[in-house]
């Protein structure tokens, strides 16, 4: 486990650095104190300050985010400017510092706004259980989210003790994750845990479905039973949600760990760049197609289809690429529709105000 966290502040262990100190200058001048959000729960959040942990309110303006956007609300990993004495007597989050990275998925309600899973993350560890058949499509989906966030993804194959020699599975996942470190480990036996530590740095978030072994792996990395774990059904490898919220915990040797609840559904939210990175091999082939607007359907001179035909590119991977592109385009169109509606509503509101103003002026004459 390596860490890029340096500095004399007590918050250095949680990622505070000179650049953040510079960003915080105006907030310090206003009497606010820096804090990192460790967990959020119903309008309150656990934070870590220079003087230790505290419980703070998120404030009415921040609880749902700016303009009602939940993606702008405080999230685990955020850096906040804290007012020591809020309206309810407890500290209050007055502002959030700009996020360096953010893992965003489509909201659970499937509307056009995103949900931030974690902020200011350096490494996204995608947990994949070897105790069940590999779902490479899910791996690609999570990698797209990770790349889009701006953080560095790694894939951790958990429960390696269940598979006698995981070389084949590791090769399969590596083929679906170009440019990504793929490491196998068993938290139960300790085998491979040090190899996992070696590829993690800074603020690390664990993502994956329930039953993937995220919390067990997290405990192995933390060196303590700090995260709740639960039983997994043998039939399908699925587990109950033992992690019900995102928590931020310091790692021995530097860095911090964020454990997330199991993700049953992971919808993409404007992940174009993430898809390009996830399917870098397909994008490279597409650049060789005869036509620049090739849809890789039946066009002559399509390098992608040629790679499928000669076995260089698995048909499954091309199908996954197309599926995620369609989903991402749909999500982007919904966002565009929402933005257009918001603009129209603002225009209508201004027109109503103007009509009312002219009407009142006419009465005064």
Q: Which residues fall in the annotated binding site for GTP?
A: 158-161, 208-216
> Comparing C-alpha atoms, which of 201, 218, 199 is closest to residue 258?
218
CA–CA distance, 260 with 227 (Å, rounded to integer): 10
Other C-beta atoms within 10 Å of 336: how many? 11
> Comparing C-alpha atoms, which of 206, 210, 215 is closest to residue 255?
206
Phi-psi category of residue 263: left, alpha or beta, with phi > 0 → left and psi -120 to 50 → alpha:
beta
**Distances from the Cα of 104 to the Cαs of 72, 113, 118, in angstroms?**
11, 10, 8
Chain-centre distance for alpha carbon 343: 28
Annotated binding site: 158-161, 208-216, 289, 294, 296, 302
Annotated binding site for Zn(2+): 289, 294, 296, 302
């Amino acid at each position: 486990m390596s860490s890029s966290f340096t500095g004399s502040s007590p918050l250095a262990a949680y990622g505070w650095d000179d650049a953040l100190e510079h960003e915080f200058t105006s907030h310090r001048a206003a009497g606010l104190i820096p804090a990192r959000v460790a967990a959020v729960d119903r309008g309150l959040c656990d934070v870590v300050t220079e003087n230790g942990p505290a419980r703070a309110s998120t404030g009415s303006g921040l609880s749902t985010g700016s303009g009602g956007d939940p993606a702008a609300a405080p999230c685990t990993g955020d850096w906040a400017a804290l007012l020591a004495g809020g309206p309810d007597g407890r500290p209050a989050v007055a502002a959030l510092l700009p996020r360096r990275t953010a893992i965003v998925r489509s909201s659970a309600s499937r509307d056009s706004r995103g949900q931030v899973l974690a902020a200011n993350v350096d490494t996204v560890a995608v947990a994949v259980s070897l105790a069940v058949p590999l779902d490479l499509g899910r791996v690609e989906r999570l990698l797209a989210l990770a790349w889009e966030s701006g953080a560095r993804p790694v894939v951790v194959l958990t429960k390696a003790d269940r598979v006698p020699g995981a070389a084949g599975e590791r090769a399969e996942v590596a083929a679906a994750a170009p440019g990504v470190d793929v490491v196998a480990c068993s938290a139960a036996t300790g085998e491979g845990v040090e190899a996992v530590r070696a590829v993690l740095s800074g603020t690390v978030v664990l993502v994956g479905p329930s039953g993937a072994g995220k919390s067990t792996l997290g405990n192995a990395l933390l060196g303590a039973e700090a995260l709740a774990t639960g039983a997994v059904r043998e039939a399908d490898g699925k587990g109950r949600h033992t992690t019900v919220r995102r928590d931020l915990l310091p790692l021995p040797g530097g860095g911090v760990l964020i454990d997330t609840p199991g993700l049953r559904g992971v919808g993409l939210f404007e992940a174009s760049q993430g898809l390009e990175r996830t399917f870098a091999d397909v994008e490279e082939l597409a650049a060789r197609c005869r036509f620049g607007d090739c849809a890789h359907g039946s066009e002559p001179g399509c390098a992608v289809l040629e790679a499928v035909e000669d076995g260089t590119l698995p048909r499954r991977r091309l199908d996954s690429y197309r599926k995620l592109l369609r989903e991402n385009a749909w999500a982007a169109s919904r966002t565009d529709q929402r933005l257009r509606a918001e603009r129209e509503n603002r225009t209508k509101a201004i027109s109503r105000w103007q009509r009312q103003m002219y009407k009142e002026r006419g009465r005064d004459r």
